[in-house]
Structure 1
Amino acid sequence: MELIELKNIDLTGWNGLDQCEKIGEEIKEFYEATAEYLHNNKQEFKDHAIEEYFDTLQSCLGLLAIAGITAEEVMKEYPKHLNKLKHRPRIKRCDKCTNCIMESKQYAGDKTDVKYIICNKMNEKIEEKDLKHYANKCGYYKEGDK
């Protein structure tokens, strides 16, 4: 498999605000193309969703370039991203839960930020590290839900 090589494009005359607007446009197009593919599972819609994904990626890379960060610098950081993915599995929460709340908690005299979920069914504050256990016993959560 060939690796993806990121490339900066010429953004002469563009500023950060221009690029942020471009990112918004590209994300909207990506959402629309992906929704079309989810609704109509044909190769042409799949290809379009992938094309819009890369346009979104390129527009974000453009903003980094305007900020002085090159494509080469971004690519050097990719192994760190892959490592982060290994240690951050996504845990399914049901739609009855309230999203993350950040609090500070004392652990052996050290103040630490801890993320919590408020489960509205069980009326409990659940620390992020315990979510998988609670999600599996939650009556709203079904294994295999997306």
Structure 2
Amino acid sequence: MNMLVVILPLLLLLVIATVCDLRHREVPDWISAGVLLWGIVLTGLGLHSVGWLGLLWGVLVGFVLSATVFYLGGLGGADVKLIAAMGAVLGPVALLFVLFWMALAGGVLALVAAAQGQRDFAYVPAITAGFVAYMVYPGEVWRHLFP
């Protein structure tokens, strides 16, 4: 299976979510639902190796970790839903790597916001950047495109 078929719909939905978050500071629920549905479709058709158990664990890990940060005041509810839905597509292990890159991108965003005197900022750009960094840095995309 071409890795781009798996990645592009998720990336497209993340870019749409980023634009919505930057413009309106709100992410429509249909985006997170679309990401979750994409994970279910990929698993149901056997288009990736996550499997049903990995899908469930990915959602659970994404939800628990992001909900914890939500309750500490660091994320919004839409961020939690989006991260949990990403777990359905990526599975728990890949999601942990994405969360690492997302935290780094979020730290950079926080520094930029602080330099501009803002305490609150859109976080979906960090989620998208974390996903892109994961896809590029370990060579995930390139390994599948150019075996």
TM-score by length of 2: 0.32
**Which has more radius of gyration?**
1
Which structure is richer in relative contact order (CA contacts within 8 A, separation 6 or more)? 2
TM-score by length of 1: 0.32
